[in-house]
Amino acid sequence: MRLLLRNGRVLDPASGVDDTLDVLIEDGRIARLEAKIPARGAEVADLAGLVVCPGFLDMHVHLREPGQEWKETIATGTRAAAAGGFTGVACMPNTVPVNDSRSVTESILRTAARDAVVAVYPVGCVSKGQAGEELAEMADMFEAGARAFSDDGQPVASGLLLRKALEYSRLFDVPILDHCEDSGLVAGGVVHEGDVSTRMGLRGWPGVAEDVVVQRDVLLAEYTAGRLHVAHLSTGRSADIVRRAKKAGIRVTCEATPHHLALTDEAVSGFDTNAKMNPPLRPESDRRALLKALQDGTVDAIATDHAPHHADEKNVEFSRAPFGIVGLETAVSVCLDRLVHGGTIGLPRLVELFTSGPARILGLAKGTLAPGADADVTVLDPNRRVTVDPARFRSKSANTPFAGWSLRGAPVMTLVAGRIVHDGR
Amino acid sequence: MKLRSPHLLGIEFLEPEEITAILDAAETFAEISTREIKKVPTLRGKTVVNFFVEPSTRTRSSFELAEKRLSADSLNFSTSTSSLVKGETLLDTARNLEAMAPDFIVIRHSEPGAPHFLARHCRSSVINAGDGAHEHPTQALLDAFTMRRRGRRFPGLRVAIVGDILHSRVARSNVLLLTRMGADVTVCGPPTLLPRGIERLGCRATHRMEEAIEGADVVMMLRVQLERMRAGFFPTLREYARLFGLDGARLRLAAPDALVMHPGPINRGVEIMGDVADGAASVILEQVTNGVAVRMAVLYLLAGGAERETAA
């Protein structure tokens, strides 16, 4: 099986390639990357005017299976991923049951082998039962295929447990992904604490409740020499803490979500539960600080925190609605439009944030189009105009604050191991 | 004058002319409540559901009386928040109410935005009778009406609002209404109970009660709840009363003819001392009386006001 991608702009930041080239795929791998490769019987896709990138990775996704299949399944979530330009997703362990053991990790991977159209990288729990008390069997889960550990959905509240996790995970050199939130300081908050919460009478979730935990985590990462990854960074102060930690040589990485980069807490005006997420949308000053952190390299990856919820679950009073929004099918367009066309970062940096950035954090041999690499490919049309229509999502859920947005730039084709899993050219 | 919106969700959406129109209409309805026959046929044939998802006696009674004096048919539908959590969603309950074809739904709910949610999904006119810590527009309107009936004019009027500003819908609606009408509003409370950025609503904020009250034309005290002490917002009611309670000595700092207001129910000896609550400056019971007239005015104007009458 040979496939020749012709005439595209090949953009592979990991190997420093940015040129109009042909890409020859053979047996699921990148065989050659040259100008004018003769077809010689290969199937040809003409990608003139499009950008050929390594497969995009989303390192923070809730696939909801097992246990909450009315929200999403591995089948629908990975189809949403493929349509959104992603060739691999890391799925969070707060399923039902939680992924805190080899058997659950294996069950997720078995289901993925049967149903998934993109690669699925399970994230195991830090603690048994995600209860925040005792370490889960990380080695077992790692051997089964877990590539990171997290109690996501919950922070690792205990400093002692986080210390142990950072130490123990050094056995396999995988990161601990922390959802940084001091629940005591959040105190039931549902939106950012500031002008908007004050105006709307909603309980505030102050930025400092994230910052104090990011700072604690960084100190523990330094002390233990473990690998820390800060999930969905939402404040300027947290970005400062990570920036300083990196300068000091502490092993810390972080991700930001498209929604924290594109929206502010003003989006909850009108009590739109599709603008309710955790961490909450922050004010413009934090958003700008995150953009700066994208530019200066503080942020390592863009991840969606894809959190599907059924419409009935969101169609309630604001404070009662669950946190979270879907992101797989809007992330790339939102980022192309707001970040690249908006002038924050160039396309090569964006591609890095979606490819080699997350690949490095998860220790995956992905995120490059170098010959010999797996032929996971994302093709972008940076100028295509799209309108976000939740009715057309492949995801089972449609809880997005971006409905109706007109955006410039879109993923148009997705290949996993040389196989076309989405073609919207 | 017709209100622009079919709903009254908050002061946030009212223009100054609309506020004035409601207060003007309330004058007429206040007169009705002094007659021997306290009833007019204005809303005959109209149905109002008083949908109270949070306990409230005085607001519900006030609405009910307003509805009855306008000859509307009213239905009280009270339910506790916990039963909603266990069973039906707010939306399903609202749809059931709506299936009985009411013209108005008056809603009191512990969650901010619940009336807005209802308004998006219902054909009836929705009136916010208090949504969590967000808004309580009819309270602010009746407070303004009380000030105006007492001869106060809003431009430059100095109003101090003292107490638990953080959790108070009364404070928010009053700040919005009074600043919109040109008054000079200062909110005051312990730093733990002053929400961040409250000044951006157009008022001043201070932690010192003397500073808030000095020269004030109106001193509005808010009820402080014991549960806030348990949640750590202040150490004891005793200390709270000492720092933020309104007694005669503090009241003397206000303008000589200052009005003392309170949305009720009052905690004697906590945020307000008994002698002040019962004193000459207090208009607390007038607020209750005026509440009926203001709610009649709101129902009347939302139903279409004079326009509807001429059509009928």
Q: Does B133 touch chain A (CB under 8 A)?
A: yes
Q: Contact at 8 Å (CB) between B203 and B186?
A: yes
ipTM associated with this complex = 0.92
Residues of B in contact with A205 (CB under 8 A): none
- Other Cβ atoms closer than 10 A to A123: 28
Residue B54 confidence (pLDDT): 85
Residue B81 confidence (pLDDT): 56
Over the stretch A224-256, which tens digit does the pLDDT of each residue have? Answer: 999 999 999 999 999 999 999 999 999 999 999
Over the stretch A155-196, which tens digit does the pLDDT of each residue have? Answer: 999 999 999 999 999 999 999 999 999 999 999 999 999 999
Q: Does B196 touch chain A (CB under 8 A)?
A: yes
Residue B84 confidence (pLDDT): 54
Residues of A in contact with B134 (CB under 8 A): 200-202
Structural element, H or E, at residue A186: helix A183-186
Q: Which range (A17-21, A345-349, B183-187, B301-305) has the least confidence?
A: B301-305
Residues of A in contact with B131 (CB under 8 A): 201
Nearest to B134 among A194, A200, A320 (CB): A200
Q: In sequence order, what are the beta bridge partners of A30?
A: A25
Residue B306 confidence (pLDDT): 58
Nearest to B112 among A193, A195, A319 (CB): A319
Q: Is A366 exposed, middle or buried (0-12, 13-18, 19+ CB in 10 A)?
A: buried
Nearest to B113 among A195, A197, A271 (CB): A271
Helix (H, G, I), strand (E, B) or coil at A33: strand
- Rounded Cα gap, residues A109 and A120, in angstroms: 7
Over the stretch B67-77, which tens digit does the pLDDT of each residue have? Answer: 999 999 999 98
Residue B251 half-sphere exposure toward CB, CA atoms < 13 A: 25
For B168, nearest residue in chain A (alpha carbons): A201
CB contact under 8 Å between A200 and B200, yes or no, is no
Residue B22 confidence (pLDDT): 98
Structural element, H or E, at residue A117: none
> What is the residue type of B215?
G
- Rounded Cα gap, residues A277 and A259, in angstroms: 9
Band of pLDDT at residue B202, cut at 50, 70 and 90: very high
Residue B83 confidence (pLDDT): 56
Q: Which residue has the tokens 């200390």?
A: B239
Q: Which range (A108-112, A157-161, B308-312) has the least confidence?
A: B308-312
Instruction: Tell me what percent of the residues of chain B surpass a pLDDT of 90.
Output: 84
Band of pLDDT at residue B55, cut at 50, 70 and 90: confident
Over the stretch A287-300, which tens digit does the pLDDT of each residue have? Answer: 999 999 999 999 99
Structural element, H or E, at residue B241: helix B237-244
User: Number of residue pairs across A and B with CB atoms under 8 Å?
Assistant: 63
Helix (H, G, I), strand (E, B) or coil at A96: coil
More confident of the two residues B81 and A238: A238
Whether residue A401 is predicted with pLDDT greater than 70 in this model: the reply is yes
Cα–Cα distances in angstroms (integers) from residue B26 to residues A171, A288, B78, B295, B300, in the given order:
75, 48, 27, 8, 10
Average pLDDT score over residue span B180-207: 97
Residue B309 confidence (pLDDT): 44
Strand A43-46 relative to strand A17-26, pairing: unpaired
Residues of A in contact with B107 (CB under 8 A): none
Q: Which residue has the tokens 């002390």?
A: A223
Cis peptide before B41 (omega within 30 of 0): no
Cα dihedral value A93, A94, A96, A101, nearest 10: 30
Angle at A328 between CA A327 and CA A331, to 5 degrees: 70
Contacts of A325 (CB under 8 A, 6+ apart): A259, A274, A275, A277, A305, A307, A399, A400, A401
Helix locations, B79-134, DSSP H:
81-86, 90-98, 114-121
Over the stretch B89-126, which tens digit does the pLDDT of each residue have? Answer: 889 988 888 999 999 999 999 999 999 999 999 999 99
Helix (H, G, I), strand (E, B) or coil at A337: helix
Whether residue A39 is predicted with pLDDT greater than 80 in this model: the reply is yes
Q: Does B114 touch chain A (CB under 8 A)?
A: yes
Over the stretch B116-160, which tens digit does the pLDDT of each residue have? Answer: 999 999 999 999 999 999 999 999 999 999 999 999 999 999 999
Q: Does B132 touch chain A (CB under 8 A)?
A: yes
Q: Contact at 8 Å (CB) between B246 and B221?
A: yes
Residue B79 confidence (pLDDT): 77
Q: Which residue has the tokens 């001091």?
A: A182
Band of pLDDT at residue B87, cut at 50, 70 and 90: confident
Residue B86 confidence (pLDDT): 60
- Rounded Cα gap, residues B131 and B11, in angstroms: 12
Residue B85 confidence (pLDDT): 55
Q: Contact at 8 Å (CB) between A232 and A303?
A: yes
Whether residue A326 is predicted with pLDDT greater than 60 in this model: the reply is yes
Helix locations, A225-264, DSSP H:
236-247, 258-262
Structural element, H or E, at residue B33: none
Average pLDDT, chain A: 97
Structural tokens at position B108:
């009191």
- Other Cβ atoms closer than 10 A to A397: 25
Average pLDDT score over residue span B30-49: 95
Average pLDDT score over residue span A338-354: 98
Q: How far is CA A52 from the centre of its chain?
A: 20
